[in-house]
Chains A and B, each alone.
Chain A
Amino acid sequence: MNRTKINAPVDVLIIGAGASGAAVAWSLADTRMRILCLEQGDWQQTSRYPSTGRDWEARQFEDYAISPNRRAMPADYPVNDDDSPIKVANFNGVGGGTILYAGHFPRMHPSDFRVRTLDGVADDWPIDYRTLEPFYALNDRMTGVAALEGDPAYPRKAAVMPPLPLGRTGEVLGQAMNGLGWHWWPSDTAINSRDHEGRAACINLGHCGHGCAQGAKASTDITYWQEAMRARVEVRTRCRVSRIETSEDRMATGAWYFDADGEEVFQPAEIVIMACNGIGTPRILLNSASERFPDGLANSSGQVGRNLMFHPYALVRGRFDQPMDGYRGSRVFMWSMQFYETDPANDFVRGYCYQFTRGAGPVATAINGMADGLLPWGEGHHAAFRSLFDHQAGMVSICEDLPEAINRVTLDPQLRDANGIPAPKITYRLSENTQRMLDHSVARGTEILKAAGARDIVTRAPLSYAGWHLMGTARMGTDPKTSVVNEWGRSHDVKNLFIVDGSVFVTSGGVNPTSTIQAIALYVADQIKARIHDLFD
């Protein structure tokens, strides 16, 4: 292979332009260092998002499908997830997963950082809620989070703008929760309830999961990246990193990547920051094995790729006699933290949150109805369809997944991407604790829907195409023997290598992770700035 093309060096090389890459780039921009981000995907054109066409529901399964294996676009790399009941969902491009995320934006809870101390399982984080609190708040402002202050499930936190409306669905389910005496609250959402920083308010397209054409949902291509580029950070797209190079003194010297023409290029850098997510980051670290680092880069602990956590989901959906919101409205609007904390009465430790859901468009209503056995073929189809369409609602539970060394990302010995880089292979099984938690959430969810007057209740657990939260595969810790990065995101083994994505999670909590991922990225950036004079000591 002819490895001759070498770029001019940069001070900071960020790999991956998703949720965390954007936040760390923006925060570091005020240092005036030369910062470059390499991203394997491209910028999105909002005019191509599914909601702009009459065939909007069909297009959700095409170029904006959540599975990289189904999309198989030039930006995507294949993922072998045959050995996992939960399949990986992601998006590769500027904005990363935030292009497709629903924008449900809960923070982790104070107890999430202390699970060993409180519940005797897994490990405590080396940082806590209080460490991250200012960065959560900063991230909320940069993102534009809609919320209602005063949620009793959290320590006090400020709202950037009013919450999104509950719609009929939220009102019916909220009343049911009140009847049961259980907690619920309008969700914190990364969706504008009113115009914010030049981005328009949500117009209830209901398309958040496949790209928001309105720009109301805070994907990082239209939030952090716009500001970072104005501050001269460079984003170089269609550049896929294959490996990190190191020097004799065990420092990273830069990264090899394939450019848009498939040419291999070396990018020298003083500091390398990984932001490729909980699967992309261990993949590149493992593929960077060398004589100096035979088990993969930053892997003297053997923890790179291990402890993969997904947040197994359960779904509970019911049919109501009265019309609900159907396909109208943001996908996320209301949560419950009633079963979040460990309860000694349960047969599992830790807990989950509920994210309530509205109905779906006509196509999804029909496809789900057939799969659920509620919609027959033939004569009865039309009447049954009309009783479901606009009349369904429910919830998903987001269950805390505890770290286990056997759940892991390795390099697939055969499967490779278009540039010949080995694909990640996922080995994952549900633990008994998680299975019990899923069962509990299905039972309580069914109770909620019954209390709300729903019938024809269907449940699924775990949801298989729901591996969208990718965490734990390069965990944070103070002990180099059991963790990959230290308490401020620097690799124990390679002193100018940082990781800021979901890989560094010690435990997963039972909430969507992006707010925490970005708070950590901002915190690590802050640590880099504060320690800049002795950063590599």
Chain B
Amino acid sequence: MTSSIEATTTGPCGLSAGEIECLRCVAGHMIPASAVHGVPGADDDVILADMIRSPGRDGAALAALLRRIDAAAGGRLAALDAAVQVSLLSAMRAEEPAALAVLEAVVCRAYYRDDRVLASIGMEARPPFPLGYKLPTTDWSLLDPVRQRGPLWRPAD
């Protein structure tokens, strides 16, 4: 996923600039960049652009949730101190996990398809089809104890 859009303008999915600012802030808290693992955070420009472009059927619920988060922050989550942002978000997660699940889904769907992130978790950056994957062959002697125990089904006549 490589293309980028200016994340401060209204996104193609209809998120407002304010909602995008809030999304960036929440995404950064959810999955921050890590030097140890060599990965960007979910607030990275490219990942965020992908996220904004593709909330799919969650678009309306996402926008409504971001507005609620900003409202709970007194207007703009991004304007608060980082520590206050964290405590507000964890309080909301504890109170209404189902609502926040939409946000988690939207963020994770974009984050875990970024080439850099996939490389870091050992996945090839490609769709599953058409190459598929390999599985080891099976040694069916593992079933010997099951065979030895004999029939298990219940006659019905």
Contacts and interface: CB of A to CB of B under 8 A. Distances in A.
Interface of A: 49, 51-58, 61-62, 65, 70, 72, 109-111, 113-114, 117-118, 128-129, 148, 150, 152-155, 163, 165-168, 170-171, 174-175, 177-178, 181, 183-186, 202-207, 213-214, 325, 327-329, 337-338, 340-341, 361-363, 365-367, 370-371, 377-379, 381-382, 385-386, 389-390
Contact of B136 (A110, A152, A167): A167
Contact of A168 (B104, B129, B136, B157): B136
A518 to B, nearest CB: 21
A367 B105 contact: yes
Contact of B130 (A155, A165, A214): A214
B143 interface: yes
A65, A338, A382, most chain B CB atoms within 10 A: A382
Given A152-B152, A154-B153, A367-B104, A328 B133 contact: yes
B156 A114 contact: yes
Given A58-B113, A152-B153, A362-B112, A371 B101 contact: yes
B89 A377 contact: yes
Nearest to B122: A390
Interface stretch (B6-14, B25-33, B65-73): B25-33
Interface string B119-134: 0011101111111111
A61 B104 contact: no
Given A54-B127, A202-B132, 12 more contacts: A54-B125, A56-B128, A57-B109, A61-B58, A61-B109, A153-B153, A154-B153, A178-B142, A205-B132, A362-B123, A363-B109, A377-B30
B101 to A, nearest CB: 6
Interface in B33-56: 34, 36-37, 39, 54, 56
A392 to B, nearest CB: 14
A378 B126 contact: no
Interface string B73-108: 000000000000010011001000100010011001
The 6 closest A-B pairs by CB, nearest first: A203-B132, A328-B133, A362-B112, A110-B156, A58-B109, A366-B108
Contacts of A51: 127-129
16 contacts: A51-B129, A58-B54, A58-B110, A61-B57, A61-B109, A111-B156, A117-B156, A203-B132, A204-B135, A327-B133, A338-B152, A363-B113, A365-B112, A377-B89, A378-B29, A381-B30
B149 A152 contact: yes
A132 to B, nearest CB: 12
A195 to B, nearest CB: 14
A58 B126 contact: no
A153 B146 CA distance: 10
A54 B126 contact: yes
Given A52-B129, A185-B143, A378 B86 contact: yes
Contacts of B129: 49, 51-52, 203, 205, 207, 213-214
A168 B138 CA distance: 9
Nearest to B145: A178
A375 to B, nearest CB: 9
B140 to A, nearest CB: 7
Nearest to A204: B133
A57 B142 CA distance: 33
A382 B130 contact: no
Contact of B128 (A206, A365, A381, A390): A206
On chain B, which size bracket covers the interface? 35 or more
Contact of A183 (B58, B105, B152): B152
Contact of B121 (A329, A341, A386): A386
Contacts, number: 188
A178 B146 contact: yes
Contacts of B151: 152
B24 to A, nearest CB: 15
B1 interface: yes
A260 to B, nearest CB: 24
A141 to B, nearest CB: 22
A394 B149 CA distance: 24
A165 B117 CA distance: 29
B32 A379 contact: yes
A54 B1 contact: yes
A369 to B, nearest CB: 9
B98 to A, nearest CB: 9
Contacts of A109: 153-154
Given A167-B136, A367-B104, A152 B147 contact: yes
A109 B130 CA distance: 37
Contact of B132 (A152, A204, A363, A379): A204
Contacts of A168: 136
B105 A57 contact: no
Contact of B34 (A183, A204, A382, A389): A382
Nearest to A371: B101
B5 interface: no
Nearest to A377: B30
Contact of B111 (A202, A213, A366): A366
B57 A65 contact: yes
Contacts of A113: 156
A53 to B, nearest CB: 5
Given A165-B136, A379-B32, A183 B153 contact: no
Contacts of B154: 109-111, 118, 341
Contacts of B149: 152, 181, 183
Contact of A377 (B90, B113, B146, B153): B90
